[in-house]
Amino acid sequence: MTLLNTLLRKTIRGGVGKGRFIMASVGLSVAVILLLAATQASVDFKQLLYGNQQNGGAEFLVINKMITNENMTQKKALLFTPAEIEEIKKQDFVEAIEPVKASTFKVAAQSPSTALPFYTDLFFEAVDTHFLDIKTNEWKWQEGQYDIPIVMPNDFFDLYNFAFAPSQGLPQLSAETFMALPIKITIAGNNKKQDFMGHIVALSDRITSVLVPKEFLTWANQNFGDTASDRGAARIVIKVKDPSNPVLTSFLNKHHYSTNQEKTRFSKYRTIVQTVVSAVGGIGLMMLLFALLVFSLFIQLTIEHCKEEVVLLITLGTSPKQLQKFLLKLFFPIHIVITILCLASIQLLQWQLSIYLKTKNMIIDPYVSWLSIAGCCAVLIAVYMVLYGTVRKYIRIKA
């Protein structure tokens, strides 16, 4: 320390109101910890939500209109109009959109074997291949092809195996066997009828429907369907980056659309986490403001307490800048220490949390995010500005 600083330190006694200073420092520590915790929690939660997603972070949602007692009798009301589809397409959260094409002809499925006899009326739907989660070379159809590849929902397979089959005394089937079963498909309409052989090429989790290649459905709708009344789409598939986006949920609710709740359930958690994080951050910010206020008062008190000395120093030729520099040196370093300690504590917590979450198969970064470090810098800048402003103001008054 320079001789000037030593002499100034002896002259301007820093001891006054030390209790207040310590309290303000504790307040600042808590405020910084809360702010950092809020920032870090928000970063971690985001990482947990989107960190390990497949599909390049995209999700597919099938949405449809909610059926209510009022609209259940109006078939048209349950279909998406081109304007509605256009509106959905315009939303920021929608990356791609595909109406689910439905069959407008009658479909019957029947087992050709007596070992596993069944008969059922059925329906077909189709979407563009990009919207499917299956990988198979068999997913194609061209006119004249007798064989129709079909995608069944996994849920249907489970229902059959664990509910239907035991109750009817039918054998439970492995996925391989299920997919090897030939199914006789009869489509009918426009006073025509044609047989095909269908077989299941994949089980899907994405779209709860019986899907066939789009080419087949288009051909069959043209030849067997009720072309007079093109029904439009009752369901559409949208590709979204973030199914938990609260904006998406509120858009769906506002338009009375419904979708797979499972996929958007994080939206609710996210809203809760966001609220909690914002509340914690808000409290942190308030505490920071109070701490800054106390610091400002403390400096004012110190200068006021040493008023005579400060005035005399200035009278003797000490420049206000020299005094400002000295006072900032006196008050500011403690804040750097406090902020670094807080950051270190948050780092320790983050590290412990990452170890704990790993045991639960959840991965978060063991290091604090750069946002937290930026937050620390912002706090330090705010503290410096308040200290500088207060010191400058009160020294100038004395000068």
312 or 371: whose CB is closer to other proteins? Answer: 312
Query: In the complex, what is the shortest distance from the CB of residue 20 to other proteins, in angstroms, rounded to a whole number?
Result: 22
Query: In the complex, what is the shortest distance from the CB of residue 315 to other proteins, in angstroms, rounded to a whole number?
Result: 6
Q: How far apart are CA 55 and CA 60, in angstroms?
A: 9
The residues binding other proteins (CB under 8 A) are 2-4, 7, 10-11, 13, 309, 312-322, 396, 399
Q: How far apart are CA 263 and CA 269, in angstroms?
A: 12
Strand order in the sheet with 94-99: 94-99, 235-240, 59-65, 257-258
Query: In the complex, what is the shortest distance from the CB of residue 8 to other proteins, in angstroms, rounded to a whole number?
Result: 8
176 or 308: whose CB is closer to other proteins? Answer: 308
Query: In the complex, what is the shortest distance from the CB of residue 11 to other proteins, in angstroms, rounded to a whole number?
Result: 5
Query: In the complex, what is the shortest distance from the CB of residue 305 to other proteins, in angstroms, rounded to a whole number?
Result: 13
**Helices (H), ranges, 51-170:** 82-90, 154-159, 165-168
Residue 182 backbone dihedrals phi, psi, to 5 degrees: -80, 145
Nearest C-alpha neighbor of 257 from the set 82, 84, 60, 69: 84
Give 127's DSSP letter: -
101 or 398: whose CB is closer to other proteins? Answer: 398
List, in order, residues 6 or more apart from 112 with CB less than 8 Å away: 182, 183, 184, 197
Residue 11, helix vs strand vs coil: helix
Query: In the complex, what is the shortest distance from the CB of residue 326 to other proteins, in angstroms, rounded to a whole number?
Result: 12
Query: In the complex, what is the shortest distance from the CB of residue 384 to other proteins, in angstroms, rounded to a whole number?
Result: 21
Residue 255, helix vs strand vs coil: coil
The dihedral of CA 65, 66, 67, 71: what is its sign? Answer: negative
Residues for the chain: how many in total?
399
CB 336 within 8 A of CB 380: yes
3 or 115: whose CB is closer to other proteins? Answer: 3
Q: How far apart are CA 150 and CA 267, in angstroms?
A: 33
Amino acid present at 68? T
10 or 135: whose CB is closer to other proteins? Answer: 10
262 or 308: whose CB is closer to other proteins? Answer: 308
Beta bridge partners of 196: 185
239 or 325: whose CB is closer to other proteins? Answer: 325
Alpha-carbon distances of 234 from 63, 84, 151, 156, 258, rounded to whole Å: 9, 12, 19, 20, 12
Q: How far apart are CA 243 and CA 251, in angstroms?
A: 12
14 or 153: whose CB is closer to other proteins? Answer: 14
Query: In the complex, what is the shortest distance from the CB of residue 304 to other proteins, in angstroms, rounded to a whole number?
Result: 17
169 or 317: whose CB is closer to other proteins? Answer: 317
Query: In the complex, what is the shortest distance from the CB of residue 302 to other proteins, in angstroms, rounded to a whole number?
Result: 14
